[in-house]
Structures are given as C-alpha cells and as structure tokens.
Structure 1
Amino acid sequence: MQSLGPLRPRSTVLVKRPWLTKPFNWRALSSIPPSDYSNQSRGGLPRFFSETLPSSKGGVIRVQGDEFWHMTKVLRLKTDDRVELFNGKGGLVEGFIQNIDRSSIDFVALEDPKLVLPQTPQWHIFAAFGSLKGGRADWLVEKCTELGASSVTPLLTQRSSTISDNRVERLQRVILAAAKQCQRLHEMKLNHPMKIDNLIPLVAKSKQSFIAIAEGTPLVSALTSTTKESSGLIIVGPEGDFTEKEVDLITEAGATAVGLGPHRLRVETATIAILATLTLWSGSQQISNC
C-alpha cells in the first residue's frame, strides 16, 4: 500500500563524527530472519532507541535526551555497563557505555550492527480515536504496538474530531516506550489523520480490509470464508459509529463489514479485539509475548 507519511519523533541523538570514515552501508549488516530472532527478543540487556547506530564494531555514538535520562537517572547505569541500541528499522547493536557526562553518554559497539528482517503480519489500523478522553488513546496505540500493527492512522469521520499536535507527540512517546518494553525492533508508524475520502483508494488497493460495524457478520464467521492474508486494513469508527453513507463508501470500495458480538464496544476495545484475532488468524508466530 502507498506511504501515508509517518510522523517522526524529534531526534535526540548526536553522532560522534571522527569514526565515520565512509558512508553507512546497510548491506554489510548481518541479517537475521524473524524465526531466528524470537529468542533474542527476550534478552536481558536494557534496550534503548537511537536513530543512528554505529556502522561497525568499535564505532562510537553519543546518546542524549530522553534515552540518556532513562539510562542514567531511571536505571542508573554506569560506565562499562552493557546495553543495546535499536533504530526502529530492524537495526540492533550491542555495546557498552564508555563515558557519561552531564547531558549524554558515549556508546561503543561491541559488534557489527545486525539487521533483523521485518516480521509479519502487517496490519494497518485506521481508527477514529481523536475524541477519546484520558489515557484511552494511549492505551490503543500502546497495545497496537505490542501486537505488531504496522501503522496506526487517526481516522476523521463525521462524528470524530482531529488530534492536536501536542497529543501526537505524546502518542509518539507512548509508542516508543511500548516498542522498548516488548522488544519490538521495527517501528509502528503513527500517520497523519486521514479523512474517509482519502481512505477509499487504499481500501480499493488492499487485498483485505475489515470495517467494524454493529450489524456486521461476526468476525470469526467472516474469516471462515475469507482467503487467509498476512496483511491488510482494519477500520474502526467513532463512539457513535460510522454514518450510513460512510459505511457504504468503505464497503463499496471492497472492505468486509464485521461485528464483534452483541455488546457495544469502545473504539479501543474493538480495535484491539480485531487486531488480536486477525494476527492469530493470519498464522503469524512472531507476536512478542510482552
């Protein structure tokens, strides 16, 4: 499916330049298939995010900001302590803390970075959660991260509002924290809010799309007559449900209308119920047991 323009968190990493004698060569990284990574994902070393990784064994980078604070003020790590860095794109490297100053640490790689291949399934979430109060939106994106969703897009409907910029920044922090907690190496993208009209072409191009509505066929029943896929779209409306026109537009584009039982569910509950069911149904063995 086409790129939806992920929102990126602010960079908090500075690179120490002297050791960068040649461009970073991702092809030189050793690749680990997902099946071989399953045991590593439960490793005991503390893991932290860094947009930049050392290019080879012995490389040094400087880590600042929130990750520095987490390392030194929360976990109280010291010099020579071993940690891991990941970049959200499958890159992972083990190393140690060489030096700590007032605002940063120097990380030294003990090995060449590894590149872990993407894990399946790849479900993309479109949920109208802009009006959720309290920590309910946080909970939604946290659990989507843990369950392996590829992306989450706030869906703008007639009965749901947009999301403020400061709230987007908070959700980015929630996603990063969840990725670290569940040992996920590939980032879950938080996309810009999208209107129904812009969603329709994506549904039409997708091999499989599911829209949750009150009158839909029970999800499990719908899956028995559906070709098994490892990727697709999950579409969930606002608290007041989609309008009839919105449902017609989405289903006419090719989405399958599904229901989740007799009870009215909250946006976040419906989203996670469908994602968990489809993840298991698609046969993936790569769900992290966080």
Structure 2
Amino acid sequence: MQTLGPLRPRFTELLKLPWLTKPFNLRAFSSTPPADYSNQSRGGLPRFFSETLPSSKGGVIRVQGDEFWHMTKVLRLKTDDRIELFNGKGGLVEGCIQNIDRTAIDFVALEEPKLVLPQSPQWHVFAAFGSLKGGRADWLVEKCTELGATSVTPLLTERSSAIADNRVERLQRVILAAAKQCQRLHEMKLNHPMKIDNLVPVVAKSKLSFIAIAEATPLVGALTSTRTESSGLIIVGPEGDFTVKEVNMIIEAGSTAVGLGPHRLRVETATIAILATLMLWSDSQQITNP
C-alpha cells in the first residue's frame, strides 16, 4: 500500500518558501489609515482621544488616564507603535509612542495635524430615555453615536421626568468609547436634559423635525414629500408615550408626526429606527443632488 510519507516536503525545503523567508510584520499597528476621512467606515491605525493635540509635526504631548491604560494594558502597545490621536472636534494627528513610563505615554506627531470639518446632514435627537433601565440608555446613545447623530438630548416629560446625574457621566463615557470604535472624529454632544416647554421654541426654529407617533403617516412615506435639509430634529417620547397636550404642543410648533410600523416600539428601538432611516435618506439625497 502506498504511503503519504514521500509526499511530505522536508523541513529544509519549507524554510525556502518565500512566505517564510521574506520579512513581515505581525503588528497591525503599522498599517496606513485611509486618506479619505469623509468615509470613516474603513479601518486604520488605533485611535485614542486627547483634548490636546501636538500643534505641529514633531510635537510631543503626554497621554494619561483611561487612554493610557487602554493603550498599554489592554492593547499592550509598545514604543514606536504608530497610533492616531483625535480631540472630538475634528482634529486628528498621526504619530507614534515615543516613550512609556508608569503613568503616561509620550506621543510624537509624525505629520502635521489635520482638521476635518463636520459632515452634513446633522440630526439632533431628543428622546425621553431618562427612566430606561438595564443598560438600555447606554445602548441608545452608543448607537446614536455610531449612526452619526450630532447630539442627543434627554427629554423630560410628564411620564419621564428625571435623569440621574451619575447616569449622565456614564453616558459621556459610552459616547467617547463608541466614537473611538466607529472612527468618528466629531464627538456626539450629550446636552443637558430639556423640558417640553423648552423644546417647543427649538422645534419652531428648525426647518425640519419629526416626532414619532403611533398610527401617524409612515416615516418613509412622509419623506417622499419632504424637502432636503442639512439638519433636523428627531423627537421620541417615553415608554408611556407623550401626553396629548405634549404632542399638540410639538406638532403646533412645526414638527411632522411620523409612524414606525404597526408594533409598539421601545424608546431606544424607535430612536434608532428613525435615525437610521433618516441617515440613509440623507445619504441618498446627497448622492442624487450633490
């Protein structure tokens, strides 16, 4: 019976194969980031937040705190690894880790810092999510960040009247983590909680706003007769829905009532459904009418 032994290549012959003899780098951190920063869906260098960026090529700053921990303890980055820093306001700079000590890393810029302008359209979310439990509020702001909302404002209504201060701090951390994960250069703004009385004049000044209401005209149908605008508002009520008085106030201020299907949706589900639809609609309008 014939054996497979003679078919096996010798170890010395394996060593001659080009993929074993040609030097290569196992680290993913040396890859080149995409040059087109308007499309951030593609991967690039590991990106970290820093309020302060080097002012020019060759500039050095120290990065401490949570970002230092993430770099060194989670990703285990080393000296000379290339990374990016962003400041959440469109500032971005590529560089490398020059030095690591017990409390911080020294980052040196390898190029001139860039300033990327905000992309339109800009959708502002107003949602009554202060009473959500079990991490559902975290999920809402995380997905709003990923989808590209410009800001999120907790709404205070008759049926959702408060949001704890410590939750606001946690939501800020969730937003920053989501911005890093989705390669977003402009950090989504988390506004102070707002009452309906204060929302009404905001709606009146806006050229385009939608309020999610059960049994209203389907959102996609409403968009067929809606003019294209560079910014707008998304308004979603609490789990118990808006009161009739609140709905009337918002609609009379100029908001368009839209429906999201035959089922009753949770606050976070309705928010993400309408935001995702409007972001896709806005993108298609930009392509059609550049």
TM-score range with shorter-chain normalisation? 0.7 to 0.9
Aligned residues between the structures: 253
Question: Given that residues 218 and 261 in structure 1 are in contact (C-alpha distance below 8 angstroms), is that contact kept between their aligned partners in structure 2?
Answer: yes
Amino acid at match of 2:113: P
Structure 1, unpaired ranges of 5+: 1-34
Question: Given that residues 215 and 262 in structure 2 are in contact (C-alpha distance below 8 angstroms), is that contact kept between their aligned partners in structure 1?
Answer: no
Q: How does 1:1-290 map to 2 (within 5 A)?
A: 36-38=36-38, 42-283=42-283
Question: Given that residues 82 and 95 in structure 2 are in contact (C-alpha distance below 8 angstroms), is that contact kept between their aligned partners in structure 1?
Answer: yes
SS in structure 1 at match of 2:183: coil
SS in structure 2 at match of 1:283: helix
Greater RCO structure (CA 8 Å; 6+ sep): 1
Q: Which has the higher strand share?
A: 1
Using structure 2 for the length normalisation, give the TM-score.
0.84
Following superposition, the deviation at residue 41 of structure 1 comes to 5.4
SS in structure 1 at match of 2:201: helix
Question: Given that residues 40 and 182 in structure 2 are in contact (C-alpha distance below 8 angstroms), is that contact kept between their aligned partners in structure 1?
Answer: no
Indicate the larger mover: 122-131 or 212-221: 212-221
SS in structure 1 at match of 2:44: coil
Amino acid at match of 2:126: F
Using structure 1 for the length normalisation, give the TM-score.
0.84
Structure with max Cα Rg: 2
- When residues 117 and 55 of structure 1 are mapped into structure 2, their CA distance, relative to the original with a 3 A threshold, is same
1:227-267 deviation line (CA, Å, top 9, x unaligned): 12231000000001000000000000000001111100000
Structure 2, unpaired ranges of 5+: 1-34
Q: Distance in 1 between matches of 2:58 and 2:166?
A: 38
Q: Distance in 2 between matches of 1:271 and 1:232?
A: 14
Question: Given that residues 40 and 184 in structure 2 are in contact (C-alpha distance below 8 angstroms), is that contact kept between their aligned partners in structure 1?
Answer: no
Question: Given that residues 120 and 284 in structure 1 are in contact (C-alpha distance below 8 angstroms), is that contact kept between their aligned partners in structure 2?
Answer: no
State the percentage of identical aligned residues: 90
- When residues 84 and 284 of structure 1 are mapped into structure 2, their CA distance, relative to the original with a 3 A threshold, is farther
Q: Distance in 1 between matches of 2:195 and 2:44?
A: 43
Amino acid at match of 2:42: R
SS in structure 1 at match of 2:84: strand
Q: Distance in 1 between matches of 2:40 and 2:51?
A: 21
SS in structure 1 at match of 2:245: helix
Following superposition, the deviation at residue 215 of structure 1 comes to 2.7
Q: Distance in 2 between matches of 1:255 and 1:268?
A: 20
Q: Which residue of 1 aligns with 2:16?
A: none
Amino acid at match of 1:116: V
